[in-house]
Amino acid sequence: MLSALVVVGTVLWLLDRRDRGRDAEGQLQPTEVVEPEPSCSDDCCSTHDVCPSEQLLRGELCEITYYDDQELDDYRGRNANEYNDAELEQWRDVLYTLQPDDRLGWERSIKRRGIVMPSAIRDELLMLLQES
CA distance 58 to 99: 22
The overall pTM is greater than 0.85? no
Q: Within a domain: residue 69?
A: yes
20/14 Cα distance (integer angstroms): 10
How many angstroms separate the CA atoms of 3 and 64, rounded? 56
Our count of domains for the chain comes to 1
Asked whether 69 and 61 are in contact (CB, 8 A), the reply is no
Rounded to a whole number of angstroms, the distance between the first and last alpha carbons of the chain is 77
Range of the domain at 61: 44-132
List, for residues 39-88, the tens digit of each pLDDT value.
Answer: 455 555 555 555 655 655 555 545 788 899 999 999 999 999 999 999 99
Give the highest mean pLDDT range of 7-16, 22-31, 63-72: 63-72
Q: How much of the chain, in percent, has pLDDT values that exceed 90?
A: 45
Angstrom distances, CA of residue 7 to CA of 2, 10, 17, 76, 102: 9, 5, 15, 60, 61
Residue 32 counted as domain residue? no
CA distances from 39 to 35, 50, 55, 124 (A): 12, 12, 11, 27
Specify burial of residue 74 (Cβ count, 10 A radius: 0-12, 13-18, 19+): exposed
